[in-house]
């Protein structure tokens, strides 16, 4: 949903708009020995890669943890409605990715011509149709999870479309992105337990990190002041500190039970401390580099680090609520995200 140019470590093959390796005017006999089938396979592979770039597939690994962290705050184990919330989140997230590039196609033609739309590998109407279809699918899945979940998914979808079409380049842009991420966590809570109240502190934590990362992302293409990375670095440290403080009481909101402290579980305490440290390491180091030198490449790396840091942050939030299994499952997504990011850039 945030406009991001390709990172400095993106494979050079992604910047080539040619598509299939076989020329349209080349006869089968002039191509490979496998004839037309080879050209068809090559075209299908190129098309699949183009859609993978458009939808930023590696970034999908940062999405399930939202619902799992939200579900953890309810005191209930993940259930089939939690899975529906995850599926809904994935659809709405991908809708935002497709809509983002559709809205940015004029700008990308000048600054990022290698992207799927300006390079001609995907037609703009197809991206817009995909955004609409994914939004409809996300809302339908949320409706299956219950009215409470749909009541959160509807404003989430509206926020995604408002951000991409109107708010992205305004001062309200980072706040809109943060709101979307917070609502995504609340979607998991409402689908699992029927109420968003217990998840409000966790949603605020995730939204704060998103706000900081989105603010830094505004300097991706041209660089900028070190103030945004410095502020994000301070935010990272503050959030990590709060994660290691008193655990949240699952199923309650702080305003309803301000003095309640659950029995401390050594394994949960140790796990959330480790995850908080992983969050700082993933996000903090590239932010420090960007603060020292706010050039576009280092800023892009800082944004990429902030996106990947979503996973240990979500896992730490789940561990803070005592959901060890959800925390470990979320944390296990991090290696897969790194592996796929080497093939398709998330920026």
| Range 182-205 average pLDDT | 96
pLDDT recorded at residue 144: 97
pLDDT recorded at residue 227: 94
| Of the candidates 127, 187, 181, the residue with the CA atom closest to the CA atom of residue 159 | 181
Q: What's the chain's length in residues? A: 347
Question: 251 in the Ramachandran plot: left (φ > 0), alpha (ψ -120 to 50) or beta?
Answer: left
Split at pLDDT 50, 70, 90, the class of 97 is very high
Split at pLDDT 50, 70, 90, the class of 172 is very high
| pLDDT over 80 (residue 157) | yes
C-beta separation of 179 from 254 below 8 A: no
Q: What percent of the chain has pLDDT over 90?
A: 65
The owner of tokens 């299908």 is 44
| pLDDT over 70 (residue 39) | no
| Of the candidates 179, 286, 295, the residue with the CA atom closest to the CA atom of residue 232 | 286
Split at pLDDT 50, 70, 90, the class of 220 is confident
Query: What is the average pLDDT score of the chain?
Result: 84
pLDDT recorded at residue 41: 52
Reduced DSSP (H G I as helix, E B as strand, rest coil) percent helix, strand, coil of the chain, to 5: 70, 0, 30
Whether the full predicted model's pTM is greater than 0.85, yes or no, is no
pLDDT in tens, 294-339: 998 999 999 989 999 999 999 999 999 999 999 999 999 988 877 7
Q: What percent of the chain has pLDDT over 70?
A: 81
Give the integer Cα–Cα distance in Å for 170 and 107.
Answer: 16
Give the integer Cα–Cα distance in Å for 152 and 218.
Answer: 28
pLDDT recorded at residue 23: 37
- Mark 9-41 as b/e (b = at least 16 C-beta within 10 Å): ebeeebeeeebbebeeeeeeeebeeeeeebbee
Helix axis angle for 324-331 and 64-72, nearest 10°, is 170
pLDDT recorded at residue 58: 83
Give the integer Cα–Cα distance in Å for 253 and 230.
Answer: 32
């Amino acid at each position: 949903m945030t406009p991001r140019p390709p990172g400095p470590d993106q494979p050079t093959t992604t910047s080539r708009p040619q598509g299939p390796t076989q020329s349209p005017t080349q006869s089968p006999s002039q191509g490979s020995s496998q004839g037309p089938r080879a050209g068809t396979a090559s075209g299908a592979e190129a098309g699949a890669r183009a859609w993978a770039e458009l939808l930023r597939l590696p970034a999908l690994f940062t999405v399930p943890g939202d619902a799992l962290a939200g579900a953890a705050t309810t005191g209930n184990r993940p259930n089939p409605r939690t899975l529906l919330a995850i599926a809904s989140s994935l659809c709405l997230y991908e809708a935002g990715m497709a809509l983002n590039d559709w809205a940015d196609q004029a700008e990308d033609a000048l600054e990022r011509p290698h992207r799927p739309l300006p390079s001609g590998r995907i037609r703009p109407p197809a991206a817009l149709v995909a955004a609409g279809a994914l939004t409809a699918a996300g809302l339908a899945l949320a409706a299956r999870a219950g009215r409470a979940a749909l009541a959160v998914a509807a404003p989430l979808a509206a926020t995604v479309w408002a951000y991409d079409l109107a708010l992205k380049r305004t001062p309200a842009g980072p706040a809109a992105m943060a709101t979307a991420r917070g609502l995504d966590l609340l979607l998991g809570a409402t689908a699992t337990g029927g109420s968003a109240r217990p998840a409000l502190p966790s949603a605020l934590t995730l939204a704060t990190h998103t706000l900081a990362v989105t603010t830094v992302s505004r300097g991706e293409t041209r660089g900028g002041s070190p103030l945004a990375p410095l502020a994000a670095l301070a935010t990272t440290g503050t959030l990590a500190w709060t994660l290691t403080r008193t655990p949240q009481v699952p199923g309650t909101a702080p305003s309803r039970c301000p003095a309640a402290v659950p029995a401390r579980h050594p394994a949960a305490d140790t796990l959330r401390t480790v995850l908080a440290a992983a969050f700082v390491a993933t996000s903090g180091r590239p932010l420090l580099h960007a603060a020292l030198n706010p050039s576009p490449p280092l800023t892009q790396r800082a944004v990429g680090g902030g996106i990947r840091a979503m996973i240990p942050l979500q896992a730490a939030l789940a561990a803070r609520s005592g959901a060890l299994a959800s925390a470990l499952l979320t944390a296990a997504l991090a290696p897969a995200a790194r592996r796929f990011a080497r093939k398709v850039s998330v920026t």
